[in-house]
Structure 1
Amino acid sequence: MTSTQGSESATGLNAVVGVDGSENSRAALNWALHHVAGHGGGSVRAVMSWTYAPVAAAGYGFGGSLPPAESMEEATKGALDALLETVTAPEGVEVVPVVREGAPSHVVLDEGEGADLIVLGKRGHGGFLGLLIGSVATQVANHASCPVVIVPAHHD
């Protein structure tokens, strides 16, 4: 395998996990940690994104105010840190927290470029749209350049 197809040969298995703090995303993170450990180790990037909800952004034009990007970033980092405290990385697996602004599917796909594997929970905090098997999981599965694993909530 060449380095452009993934990083398994150079640094072990490289997995990207899209997380949102839900039980499903925690199960996906646990699954990825143990999968990478079972394949000789490597890294797991736990990716959490933030974006202004369309309703909040629309309200901005009507006298409402959006929180500063720094506040959104800090809140997301806090949520990711809280999630990471609930899991234990096996020996030989490095967990790399990643917080980025953007739509979850776009951020996960971008982070997944060059990864060996993308792992997602079956459904997250997607509300009504998430009822359609998880809109993020569907978009990522349809557009990823590497294998995608979708983990059910109680699979850790």
Structure 2
Amino acid sequence: MTSGAVPGGVVVGVDGSACARAALAWAGRMAARTGMPLTAVRAWSVPTAPRPDTWEPAYVPPLADWERAVEQALADDVAAAGVPSAVAVTCRAVHRAPVDALLAAAEGAELVVLGARGRGGARGRLLGSVASSVLRAAPCPVTVVRPDAVRPGRAEAVGSAAARP
């Protein structure tokens, strides 16, 4: 998949964490309400990627196998997020650092949506390092979603630059 700028719409960072799943659901609702397309971006490296089916001890599969595993995990996350069917969704598995991948995608986007903490975040911090870095450098508004909302079962946006969906 490609790693360049997204031509308009909502970009959401997905890493398989609970915070990212909440951000994905929120971004899907926002895209539905605004009529914008949604692009789900998962940055990856071999240590952060789901293990491909071809993996076995003492064998390192080719990068294409790792990428397919990431693409499948991303597609599964999007399917599980309950994104409204009217939303046009594009999935991008990008073999780069998360901040770099998200900032590249944000170049043409209307909004970037991130979870407050992902796989690498320390528990108890308000924002993870990826969210903090993207907030400082993004060329468009950024919404950070935390899954521990006041109302059970609904993610609440913090530091939002956009209306709550």
1:44 aligns with 2:38: yes
Structure 2 residue runs of 5 or longer lacking an equivalent are 1-6, 49-57, 149-153, 156-165
| Residue equivalent to 1:110 | 104
TM-score, structure 1 length as denominator?
0.76
Q: Secondary structure in 2 aligned to 1:37? A: helix
| Residue equivalent to 2:79 | 85
Shift, 1:79, TM fit:
1.0
Work out the CA distance in 2 between the residues paired with 1:135 and 1:111. Answer: 18
TM-score, structure 2 length as denominator?
0.72
Greater Cα shift, 67-76 or 114-123: 67-76
Question: Please, which of 13, 18, 24 is the counterpart of residue 13 of structure 2?
Answer: 18
Q: Secondary structure in 2 aligned to 1:16? A: strand
2:80 partner letter: T
Shift, 1:49, TM fit:
1.4
Number of equivalent positions: 135
Work out the CA distance in 2 between the residues paired with 1:35 and 1:126. Answer: 26
Distance 1:130 1:16, change over 3 A: farther
Shift, 1:67, TM fit:
4.0
2:18 partner letter: E
* Fraction of identical pairs, as percent: 39
Shift, 1:133, TM fit:
2.3
Does the CA-based 8 Å contact 1:42-1:92 persist in structure 2?
no
Shift, 1:65, TM fit:
7.2
1:102 partner letter: R
Structure 1 stretches of 4+ moved >3 Å: 64-67, 127-132
1:42 partner letter: M
Between structure 1 and structure 2, the one with the greater Rg is 1
Does the CA-based 8 Å contact 1:105-1:136 persist in structure 2?
yes
Distance 1:130 1:141, change over 3 A: farther
Please report the RMSD computed on the Cα atoms of aligned residues, expressed in angstroms. Answer: 2.4
Structure 1 residue runs of 5 or longer lacking an equivalent are 1-5, 8-13, 55-63
